[in-house]
Amino acid sequence: MDPMTASYYRAILFRDSQDSRPIPPTLVLLHAWAFKRFQAMGAGSIISKQAALCVATTWMSSTNEGRAFAIEHTTIGELFCVATEEEAVLPAGSAVVDWDSLAPETKVFVTVNKKTHTGEFMGRRGGWIDVRIGGDEKQYRANQVQLAGA
């Protein structure tokens, strides 16, 4: 990625084009894909500010890392935390949980890639559930989280 384009992304993500924090790897991957398609369309070899904004917004709305970044670093992060109808489907035999009334630090199970982890419920953001597992707090879709003992 050229320095000018990197400065566009830093201005979008960190509000400062001179910021030295690294650009998240999944955003770099999405940028590389968009850059190659941009060239294939004959649109040149430079990503414009508008294209960088579109790539960054797509990244925030379509990847777990992007959504987590948006929640932590932007004022619009909550907009990207809405589960689709498919994500909202609960596994067979699961009880419907009222996440808004659940007390923080309630024990839960999180299923990721067919592996189950024990954690603590920390809160809810749209269709995403904040769970602390081993000291790290991450966001999971509601259909990945079950109450312990339910």
Contact 83, 139 (CB under 8 A): no
Phi, psi of 124 (to 5 degrees): -130, 140
Q: What is the pLDDT of residue 150?
A: 56
CA distance 7 to 18: 7
Which residues, in sequence order, are CB contacts of 1 under 8 Å at separation 6+? 9, 23, 28, 31, 32, 35
d(CA 26, CA 59): 8
Higher pLDDT, 75 or 29: 29
Look at the domain 85-147 and name its fold. SH3 type barrels. (2.30.30)
Per-residue pLDDT at 92 exceeds 50: no
Residues 70, 141 contacting (CB under 8 angstroms): no
Write down the pLDDT at residue 9. 93
pLDDT class of 84 with cuts at 50, 70, 90: very low
Residue, of 114 and 131, whose pLDDT is higher: 131
Which pLDDT does position 54 carry in this prediction? 92
Residues 108-129: what's their mean pLDDT?
83
What's the order of all strands across the beta sheet hosting 145-147? Answer: 136-141, 128-133, 115-125, 107-112, 145-147
Q: Is the pLDDT of residue 8 over 60?
A: yes
Amino acid at 55: V
Structural domain boundaries of the chain? 3-80, 85-147
d(CA 84, CA 55): 21
pLDDT at position 81, please?
A: 64
Average of pLDDT values for 39-56?
87
Distance (Å, rounded) from C-alpha 61 to C-alpha 81?
8
Q: In this structure, which amino acid lies at residue 141?
A: R
What is the pLDDT, as a whole number, of residue 77? Answer: 74
